[in-house]
Chains A and B, each alone.
Chain A
Amino acid sequence: MIHVFRVMLLAVVFTALTHAQVADERNTLRLAQVYEQAGKHDEALRYYRDLFAAKPDNSAYFEGVRRCLLALKQYTEAVALLGERIRRFPADEQLLVHRGGVYVLMEKVDSARADWKKAIALNPKNGQTYGLIADHCLNARLYPLAVEYLREGREELRAPQMFTFEIARACAMNMDFDGAMDEYLEYLRAVPQSLYQIQQQIAMFSEVIDGIESALRRTQAAVKRHSDDVSLQYLLSWLYQERKQYGEAFAVVREVDRLKNAGGMEVLRFAGRAFDDGAFRVAADAYRWIIEKYEKAQFLPQAEYHYARCMEALQEQQGVPAELNAQGSTSSGSEAMPAYRGVISLYEDIVRKHTSHPMASESQYRIGYITYHWFGDTDGALRALQGIAGNRAAVFGKADADILIGDIHVARGDLEAAITQYDAVLLSPQLDEKGRNGVRFRIAEVHFFQGRFDTALSELQPLTEDVGTDIANDALELSAMIHQYRSPGEVPLQRYAQALFLERQRKLSEADALLQQIIGEYASSEVVDLCYLSRAAVLERMGRHAAASAVYAEFLAQRGESFLRDRGLFLHAVLTEVQLNDAAGAMVLYQRLLDEYPNSPYVPQARDSIVRLRKGNS
Chain B
Amino acid sequence: MKRMLPLFLLLLLVAPVRAQQNILIPMDLQQSDHLKAYGIVYWVLTRSVEVDWLLNYRGGSFLMPHYPFIEQECRVRGVAFSTLDGSTATGIIAEVEGQDSNSEVVRLEKAPKIAVYVPPNFQPWDDAVTLAMEYAEVPYDKVWDEEVLRGKLAEYDWLHLHHEDFTGQYGKFYAQFGTFPWYIQQVAINESTAKRLGYSKVSEMKKAVARAIREYVGGGGFMFAMCSATDTYDIALAAEHTDICDRMFDGDPPDPDCQQRLDYSATFAFTDFKLVMNPYEYEYSDIDMTPALGGRPDADYFTLFDFSAKYDPVPSMLTQNHVNVIAGFLGQTTAFKKDLIKKHVVILGQKEGTEEVKYLHGNFGRGTFTWYGGHDPEDYQHRVGDPPTDLSLHKTSPGYRLILNNILFPAAKKKQQKT
CB-based contact A174/B75 at 8 Å: no
CB-based contact B255/A173 at 8 Å: no
Stretch of B44-52, B182-190, B323-331 contacting A (4+ beta carbons < 8 Å): B182-190
CB contact under 8 A between A607 and B188, given known A139-B247, A207-B121: no
CB-based contact A139/B251 at 8 Å: yes
Partner of B185, one of A105, A140, A205, A604: A205
Partner of B75, one of A139, A206, A595, A604: A595
A506→B239 CA distance, assembly (Å): 78
Chain A contacts with B in 35-63, Cβ cutoff 8 A: 39, 41-42
Q: Does A542 contact B (CB under 8 A)?
A: no
> Shortest distance in angstroms between A579's beta carbon and chain B's nearest beta carbon?
23
User: Which residues from A are CB-within-8-Å of B250?
Assistant: 141
Q: Does A29 contact B (CB under 8 A)?
A: no
Stretch of A68-76, A320-328, A359-367 contacting B (4+ beta carbons < 8 Å): A68-76
> Shortest distance in angstroms between A201's beta carbon and chain B's nearest beta carbon?
10
Main secondary structure of the interface of A (DSSP, over half): helix
User: Which residues from B are CB-within-8-Å of A71?
Assistant: 253, 256
Q: Does B192 contact A (CB under 8 A)?
A: yes
CB-based contact B76/A594 at 8 Å: yes
Whose C-beta in chain B lies nearest to the C-beta of A70?
Answer: B253
Chain B positions 179 through 214: 1 when the CB is less than 8 Å from some CB of chain A, otherwise 0? 001101101110110000000010000000000000
> Shortest distance in angstroms between B75's beta carbon and chain A's nearest beta carbon?
4
Whose C-beta in chain B lies nearest to the C-beta of A40?
Answer: B256
A73→B77 CA distance, assembly (Å): 60
CB-based contact B253/A73 at 8 Å: yes
User: Which residues from A are CB-within-8-Å of B77?
Assistant: 607
CB contact under 8 A between A205 and B75, given known A139-B247, A173-B191, A174-B192: no
Partner of A173, one of B78, B188, B201, B256: B188
Q: Does B15 contact A (CB under 8 A)?
A: no
Chain A contacts with B in 575-608, Cβ cutoff 8 A: 591, 594-595, 598, 603-604, 607
User: Which residues from B are CB-within-8-Å of A72?
Assistant: 253, 256
> Shortest distance in angstroms between B391's beta carbon and chain A's nearest beta carbon?
14
User: Which residues from B are CB-within-8-Å of A141?
Assistant: 191, 201, 250-251
CB contact under 8 A between A204 and B185, given known A39-B277, A591-B72, A607-B76: yes
Whose C-beta in chain A lies nearest to the C-beta of B180?
Answer: A204
Q: Does A172 contact B (CB under 8 A)?
A: yes
User: Which residues from A are CB-within-8-Å of B189?
Assistant: 175, 208
Chain A positions 180 through 210: 1 when the CB is less than 8 Å from some CB of chain B, otherwise 0? 0000000000000000000000011111100
Q: Does A415 contact B (CB under 8 A)?
A: no
Q: Does A546 contact B (CB under 8 A)?
A: no
CB-based contact A140/B251 at 8 Å: yes
A105→B201 CA distance, assembly (Å): 12
Q: Does B176 contact A (CB under 8 A)?
A: no
Q: Does B252 contact A (CB under 8 A)?
A: yes
CB-based contact A73/B76 at 8 Å: no
CB contact under 8 A between A207 and B253, given known A173-B187, A175-B188: no
User: Which residues from A are CB-within-8-Å of B201?
Assistant: 141
User: Which residues from B are CB-within-8-Å of A16?
Assistant: none
Whose C-beta in chain B lies nearest to the C-beta of A610?
Answer: B76
Whose C-beta in chain B lies nearest to the C-beta of A595?
Answer: B75
Q: Does A394 contact B (CB under 8 A)?
A: no
Task: Please indicate which of the listed interface residues A42, A105, A175, A206 has the most CB atoms of chain B within 10 Å of its own CB.
Answer: A175
Q: Does B20 contact A (CB under 8 A)?
A: no
Whose C-beta in chain B lies nearest to the C-beta of A211?
Answer: B185
CB contact under 8 A between A204 and B75, given known A39-B277, A72-B256: no
CB-based contact B192/A598 at 8 Å: no
> Shortest distance in angstroms between A169's beta carbon and chain B's nearest beta carbon?
8
Partner of B78, one of A207, A208, A607: A607
Q: Does B30 contact A (CB under 8 A)?
A: no
> Shortest distance in angstroms between B82's beta carbon and chain A's nearest beta carbon?
12
A425→B78 CA distance, assembly (Å): 48
CB-based contact B188/A203 at 8 Å: no
CB-based contact A42/B256 at 8 Å: yes
User: Which residues from A are CB-within-8-Å of B255?
Assistant: 73
User: Which residues from B are CB-within-8-Å of A23?
Assistant: none
A611→B255 CA distance, assembly (Å): 56
CB contact under 8 A between A105 and B252, given known A598-B75, A607-B77: yes
A595→B292 CA distance, assembly (Å): 51
User: Which residues from A are CB-within-8-Å of B252?
Assistant: 73, 105, 139-140
Q: Does B101 contact A (CB under 8 A)?
A: no
User: Which residues from B are CB-within-8-Å of A604?
Assistant: 78
User: Which residues from A are CB-within-8-Å of B188?
Assistant: 172-175, 205, 208
Whose C-beta in chain B lies nearest to the C-beta of A204?
Answer: B181
User: Which residues from A are CB-within-8-Å of B265?
Assistant: none
A105→B250 CA distance, assembly (Å): 11
> Shortest distance in angstroms between A219's beta carbon and chain B's nearest beta carbon?
19
CB contact under 8 A between A207 and B192, given known A72-B256, A607-B76, A607-B77: no
Q: Does B278 contact A (CB under 8 A)?
A: yes
Chain A positions 120 through 157: 1 when the CB is less than 8 Å from some CB of chain B, otherwise 0? 00000000000000000001110000000000000000
User: Which residues from A are CB-within-8-Å of B184?
Assistant: 172-173, 204-205
A603→B75 CA distance, assembly (Å): 9
User: Which residues from A are CB-within-8-Å of B72?
Assistant: 591
User: Which residues from B are CB-within-8-Å of A603?
Assistant: 78
A105→B243 CA distance, assembly (Å): 13
Chain A positions 379 through 394: 1 when the CB is less than 8 Å from some CB of chain B, otherwise 0? 0000000000000000
A73→B251 CA distance, assembly (Å): 12
A174→B190 CA distance, assembly (Å): 10
Whose C-beta in chain B lies nearest to the C-beta of A205?
Answer: B185
A529→B73 CA distance, assembly (Å): 31
User: Which residues from B are CB-within-8-Å of A610?
Assistant: 76
User: Which residues from A are CB-within-8-Å of B251?
Assistant: 105, 139-141
User: Which residues from B are CB-within-8-Å of A208?
Assistant: 121, 185, 188-189
A582→B299 CA distance, assembly (Å): 54
A105→B200 CA distance, assembly (Å): 12
> Shortest distance in angstroms between A618's beta carbon and chain B's nearest beta carbon?
14
Partner of B256, one of A73, A174, A598, A611: A73
Whose C-beta in chain B lies nearest to the C-beta of A598?
Answer: B75
17 further contact pairs, Cβ within 8 A, besides A71-B253, A105-B252, A594-B76: A70-B253, A72-B256, A73-B253, A105-B251, A139-B251, A172-B188, A174-B188, A175-B188, A204-B184, A204-B185, A205-B181, A205-B185, A207-B181, A207-B185, A591-B76, A598-B75, A607-B78
9 residue pairs of the A-B complex, CB under 8 angstroms, read: A174-B188, A174-B192, A175-B192, A204-B185, A205-B184, A205-B185, A208-B188, A591-B76, A598-B75
Which 4 A-B pairs rank lowest in CB-CB distance, beginning with the nearest? Answer: A594-B75, A204-B181, A140-B251, A175-B192
